[in-house]
A and B are shown apart, each in its own frame.
Chain A
Amino acid sequence: DVKVTQSSRYLVKRTGEKVFLECVQDMDHENMFWYRQDPGLGLRLIYFSYDVKMKEKGDIPEGYSVSREKKERFSLILESASTNQTSMYLCASSFSGTVYNEQFFGPGTRLTVL
């Protein structure tokens, strides 16, 4: 069974802290993605990666960075957390080169920044 896992389901941090969100997939997918989900806004793409050590900015990269040192792991980093980064964060992965590139999602991490 395909699986995308995220390190935490719920996380509470303080303003200014450095935050790491981890995502691991076991499907040998080339592509990995980080989204944030906010009510009324749907999912917005933060960053994505097409290969190890490669990264591309999505629609809302400000305040975030990412790391992909291994194919199965994609980390989202909040260098200095702020209250407007309180959100649900979803990781996804997919194969490259397929007709429709279905993305498989993790369960999400609900981050609260106080």
Chain B
Amino acid sequence: GDSVTQMEGPVTLSEEAFLTINCTYTATGYPSLFWYVQYPGEGLQLLLKATKADDKGSNKGFEATYRKETTSFHLEKGSVQVSDSAVYFCALLNQGGKLIFGQGTELSVKP
């Protein structure tokens, strides 16, 4: 079945470091891809999305490119801040309209 795999956390970085969180997926057809973020004590918020191959989603300095050839949607940010500390979820929306999540990656940014 369809699935999403993320790199395991926790990821601990210093402020202004470069961030990459890997995400790969398995799905039939052409799913839409998402990154959601969950700040401490809150629900999930959509961070960015891409609906077709080679699309780049971006928001708040985060970027991710839909790579069909490698079935990947890695999340990147050039310079992280303490306020970026959160749990990040990669997800796909499959042909049946179901949203499938990865296990989440916790990011901790130290001053």
Contact = CB atoms under 8 A, between A and B. Distances in A.
Interface of A: 4, 33, 40-45, 90, 92, 99-108
A105 B44 contact: yes
29 contacts: A4-B43, A33-B99, A40-B103, A42-B102, A42-B103, A43-B44, A43-B89, A43-B101, A44-B101, A45-B98, A90-B44, A92-B44, A99-B51, A100-B32, A100-B34, A100-B49, A100-B51, A100-B93, A101-B99, A102-B34, A102-B49, A104-B46, A105-B36, A105-B44, A105-B45, A106-B43, A107-B42, A107-B43, A108-B43
Contact of A101 (B45, B93, B101): B93
A105 B45 CA distance: 7
Contacts of B4: 42
Say what secondary structure dominates the interface of chain B: strand
A107 to B, nearest CB: 5
Q: Which of B34, B44, B97 has the most CB of A within 10 A?
A: B44
Contacts of A99: 32, 51
Nearest to A44: B101
B32 A42 contact: no
B38 to A, nearest CB: 8
